[in-house]
């Protein structure tokens, strides 16, 4: 069976690029349909066009010419078409006798093809694909477009999206493309009115389908064109924020977004801390993975890429900021989006209460959980459960509810510009990591210590040295677990575990005693300082 080029995988998957002729065909398609199209719809247009072009080419090559088949005889001057050579045309220039022990006597013809003389067998009536008439002609002129779409639409769609994205004449909104010249006019009045509509809705989110009925748009234009054009206008106006998951479009009035969404909360601000990763043992690297800090830059594992449930431990900066981390464990629950901010909905798995959340992708946090933390008494070190919701952008939220009982908790205070810790009883009704549970009744004073440490540009090692004696007092062996140090130091400086653990390993004042417990040698610290 001789396949035409468009039926071969390499034609679409390896060699396909958008040509000027394809672009013209896409233009003509938009002028015909007069509405936005997805890249997949455009891909089908291009595939059908390429197949039709190939069919027309083959038809032209076949016109007035014989198809070469080994069983036929030919004379000098005969014009032939050679399917095995991409339906190239050739003229017979010579005929001679040939012989093969297996097939006996036959003829050999020489044909001039593209300036080259090539020889072919003739008068050879044997079982051979080229001697089957249907295999030569019908296959090239009859193509199952649905089968081509099923096989190659995805590959072609990706290449088309890349090519159209480089052109100023094509516009993309979400998953749809359109031509600028066919878009509806969106004037400043439309944008002012859209702002007012969003403001009356508490900022949003609203889709353009909800906004359009209130605008005086040209009713003769297709609704899809109106929607696409308004989306484009809103996208290029700084007053509006697109906050829906990928594949959907919804708008919010930026000035009515929470302050903590527009500006990173102070306690979450992180300045990258360089450190030598080679200092971390395999065990410490496993602990880094367990803690799953959003600034550890951990890859999302295959098992975590499509999670159904996950658990994370609440850290001090997130508890006080009303946020949750966008870490390798939590980020798969939030659908991808091209917008820097994305509105999501949390649902309390017990009360079914809906909670508005805001994904701030760049700074790796989700805002909106402060009231939920407070109402449920979630402590620092508490375990938070997540479960995939019924649709993208909806997440079930819960925690290990239990009868409240009094637990020993490390409570921080500020004394003479230094942080102090005391073990005190507090009522806790949530499952928690006892190595990470810390707290304070004097948040303002602790914040003042954090700002002081920042203004003095204190090193990680100096902060550990200040924390260590206070944390070690509660342990008869004067040891502190690495997780406890990690939880406590984040009261004074936003710090992922990597640079913290590297400092524990590097500085001789910190001595590992096994199982991630450490001791502090004051004399070595003073000597090293």
CATH topology for 183-257 is Arc Repressor Mutant, subunit A (1.10.10)
Q: Structurally, what CATH architecture does the domain formed by 415-528 represent?
A: Orthogonal Bundle (1.10)
Whether residue 393 has a cis bond before it, omega within 30° of 0: no
* 32-46 pLDDT, tens digit each: 999 999 989 999 999
- Write down the mean pLDDT value for the chain: 89
Number of H helices, E strands in the chain: 17, 23
- For the entire predicted model, the pTM comes to 0.76
Domains of the chain by residue range: 1-169, 183-257, 291-403, 415-528
Q: How confident is the model at residue 141 (pLDDT cuts 50, 70, 90)?
A: low
Listed in sequence order, the residues at least 6 apart from 315 whose beta carbon sits closer than 8 Å to its beta carbon are 293, 325, 380, 436, 487, 490
* Predicted pLDDT of residue 519: 94
* Predicted pLDDT of residue 134: 47
Percent of the chain residues past pLDDT 90, beyond the cut: 56
Q: How confident is the model at residue 90 (pLDDT cuts 50, 70, 90)?
A: confident
For the domain spanning 291-403, the CATH number is 2.40.330.10
Using CA of residue 113, residue 115, residue 116, residue 119, what is the dihedral sign?
Answer: positive
Listed in sequence order, the residues at least 6 apart from 281 whose beta carbon sits closer than 8 Å to its beta carbon are 505
Return d(Cα 178, Cα 169) in angstroms, integer: 9
Enter the DSSP assignment of 382. Answer: B
Q: Is 415-528 in the same CATH topology as 291-403? A: no
Length of the chain: 529
């Amino acid at each position: 069976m001789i396949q035409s080029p468009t039926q071969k995988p390499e034609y679409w998957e390896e060699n396909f690029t958008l040509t000027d002729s394809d672009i013209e065909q896409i233009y003509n398609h938009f002028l015909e349909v007069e509405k936005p199209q997805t890249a997949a719809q455009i891909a089908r247009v291009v595939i059908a066009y390429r197949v039709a072009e190939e069919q027309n080419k083959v038809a032209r090559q076949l016109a007035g010419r014989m198809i070469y088949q080994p069983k036929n005889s030919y004379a000098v001057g005969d014009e032939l078409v050679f399917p095995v050579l991409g339906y190239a045309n050739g003229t017979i220039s010579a005929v001679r006798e040939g012989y093969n022990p297996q097939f006996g006597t036959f003829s050999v013809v020489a044909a001039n093809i593209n300036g080259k003389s090539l020889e072919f067998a003739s008068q050879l009536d044997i079982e051979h694909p080229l001697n089957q008439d249907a295999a030569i002609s019908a296959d090239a002129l009859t193509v199952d477009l649905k089968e081509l779409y099923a096989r190659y639409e995805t590959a072609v769609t990706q290449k088309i999206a890349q090519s159209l994205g480089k052109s100023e004449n094509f516009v993309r909104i979400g998953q749809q493309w359109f031509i600028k010249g066919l878009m509806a006019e969106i004037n400043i009045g439309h944008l002012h009115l859209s702002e007012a509509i969003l403001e009356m809705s508490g900022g949003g989110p609203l889709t353009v389908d909800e906004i359009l009925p209130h605008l005086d748009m040209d009713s003769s234009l297709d609704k899809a064109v109106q929607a696409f054009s308004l989306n484009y206008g809103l996208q290029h106006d700084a007053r509006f924020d697109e906050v829906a998951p990928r594949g959907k479009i919804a708008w919010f009035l930026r000035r009515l977004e929470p302050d903590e969404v527009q500006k990173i909360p102070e306690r979450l601000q992180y300045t990258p801390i360089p450190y030598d990763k080679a200092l971390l043992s395999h065990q410490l690297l496993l602990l880094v993975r367990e803690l799953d800090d959003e600034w550890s830059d951990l890859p999302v594992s295959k098992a975590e890429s499509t999670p159904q449930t996950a658990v994370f431990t609440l850290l001090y900066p997130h508890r006080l900021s009303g946020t949750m981390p966008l870490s390798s464990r939590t980020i798969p629950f939030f659908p991808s989006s091209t917008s820097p901010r994305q509105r999501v909905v949390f649902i309390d798995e017990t009360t079914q209460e809906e909670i508005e959340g805001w994904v701030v992708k760049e700074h790796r946090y989700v805002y909106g959980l402060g009231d939920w933390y407070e109402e449920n008494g979630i402590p620092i070190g508490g375990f938070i459960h997540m479960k995939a919701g019924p649709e993208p952008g909806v997440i079930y939220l819960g925690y290990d509810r239990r009868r409240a009982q009094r637990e020993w908790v490390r409570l921080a205070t500020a004394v003479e510009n230094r942080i102090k810790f005391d073990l005190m009883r507090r009522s806790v009704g949530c499952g928690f990591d006892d190595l990470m549970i810390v707290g304070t009744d004097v948040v303002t004073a602790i914040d003042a210590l954090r700002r002081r440490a920042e203004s003095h540009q204190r090193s990680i090692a100096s902060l550990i040295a200040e924390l260590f004696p206070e944390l070690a007092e509660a342990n008869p062996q004067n040891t502190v677990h690495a997780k406890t140090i990690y939880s406590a130091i984040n009261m004074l400086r936003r710090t992922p575990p990597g640079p913290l653990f590297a400092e524990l390993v590097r500085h001789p004042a910190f001595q590992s005693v096994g199982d991630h417990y450490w001791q502090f040698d004051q004399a070595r610290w003073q000597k090293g300082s």
